[in-house]
Amino acid sequence: MTPDIAIVGIGETAPVRRSPKDLRSLVMEAVYDALDDAGIAPGEVDGVVTDSVVMPTTVPHDYVMAQLGATSRFDGSISYGGAGIACSPLQAALAINAGLANVVISYFGVDWGTRPSGPYGFHDLYPAKQTFEKPYGFNAQPIYFGLWTRRYMKEYGLTPEQLGSVAVQQRQHALLRGGGQISKPLTIEDYLTAPRIAEPLGVPDCCLITDGAGAFVMTSNERARDCRKPPVHVAGTGFASIPVSGDSVFTQDPNVLTTPGAHPATEQALAMAGIERRDIDFVELYDCFTISVLMQLEDMGFCEKGEAGAFFEEGRAAIGSDLPINTHGGFLSYSYRLGIEHVVEAVRQLRGEAGTNQVANTRFGAVGGFSLPDYGVLVLSADG
């Protein structure tokens, strides 16, 4: 498949931990902004794709289409959270290329800053987790990733300074970008002395918590020519998974220190785009934790296994260096809107409208979406 489509509009709400607006209002604000950015009237939307778990149960497709006054001809959903959003262009391309839809929106939003269960509510999906994990206090993502981090440090010799350099680098990018949830600089000394959450992970290793939303608009490359902004083309999409259930994946995956699906999804997306890793100018990675950035960078094949910590420590992930990563500061330092903000940032970069945090001469950018045990990769291109 050649995905003959482009992203023509992006929208996002201002990054805040707690918003006075409810989730539907935040999502609609982002969707309207994205349509306005594209110069496409709401009534022209005729398809919608989101993740299949979070959005359908919080801001359902039918509500959004009714609010837009738009008639749906295609309705899709894939994976959940970040992997689903990174892969939503995969389904949109299938629909648009087949003539099933003309303008497809994707959106994602969370109100986890104000919702009492926050990001931990999903645990109720899994009876085994309730029975064999929660009673031991194995009940939140920092604890799962803390357990992985400890073992990863033993296997690969990762140092606290190397891990901390991910947090420090992304904070620098967030301050360059501006407008994020945190405006305070972070030094490696700050990192090393920060309060621990689940050892060895501390506060700066963990993503922010956010009330907010993002959205983007996709259409055929032909229709994209008449839009308000230069189109950013969907060059390749990849989705991959492993046969380990979401409740078992933190403990029972035989390759527990490898990001499930990241390598095959990357191969699929690059093959579709007809490019190599060296052609990628920047990467936006699902950075729920510092350790997950390192694992994905390695498992996508941008670093050898065990070498991503040194890559960050040597400054090679900085804007202006070898391979800029999370150019807006990501979930760690900008805001936490699972996957969608990485797509929005990649589009800004490829349009050349990122301003203070612009990567020079961008042609290709990659987005990685991580939702254990699924992985999604999106390769975007500035050229047609």
Partner 1 sequence: MTETAGDEFQPFWDAAAAGELRFPFCRSCQKFHWYPMIRCPHCNTADISWRAIDPTGSLYSWTVVQRPFDAAFNDRTPYVVGLLEFPDAPGVRLITNLVDIETDAIEFGMAAAPAFDLYDTAESRLMFRPNVKPARSLE
17 binds partner 1 (CB under 8 A): no
Q: Which of 20, 99, 137, 320 binds partner 1 (CB under 8 A)?
A: 137
Subset of 219-248 contacting partner 1 (CB under 8 A): 243, 245, 247-248
Contacting residue, 71, 127, 278, 383, with partner 1 by CB under 8 A:
127
Closer residue to partner 1, CB minimum distance, 136 or 193: 136
The only residue of 17, 21, 150, 363 in contact with partner 1, by rule CB under 8 A = 150
Smallest gap from Cβ 170 to partner 1, in A, equals: 21
Q: Is 151 in the site for partner 1 (CB under 8 A)?
A: yes
Size of the site for partner 1 (CB under 8 A): 38
- Tell the smallest beta-carbon distance from residue 109 to partner 1 (Å): 23
Should residue 131 be labelled a site residue for partner 1 when binding is judged by CB under 8 A?
yes
Whichever of 16 and 249 has its CB closer to partner 1, that residue is: 249
Q: Does 135 bind partner 1 (CB under 8 A)?
A: yes
CB of 155 to partner 1, least distance (A): 10
Assigned token pair, 93: 């391309």
- In whole angstroms, the minimum distance from the beta carbon of 116 to partner 1 comes to 10
286 is catalytic: yes
Verify binding: residue 196, partner 1, rule CB under 8 A: yes
Could you say whether residue 199 binds partner 1 (CB under 8 A)? yes
Q: How far is the CB of 268 from partner 1 (least distance, A)?
A: 25
Contact residues for partner 1, defined by CB under 8 A: 120, 127-128, 130-140, 142-143, 146-151, 154, 195-201, 243, 245, 247-248, 251-252, 254, 256
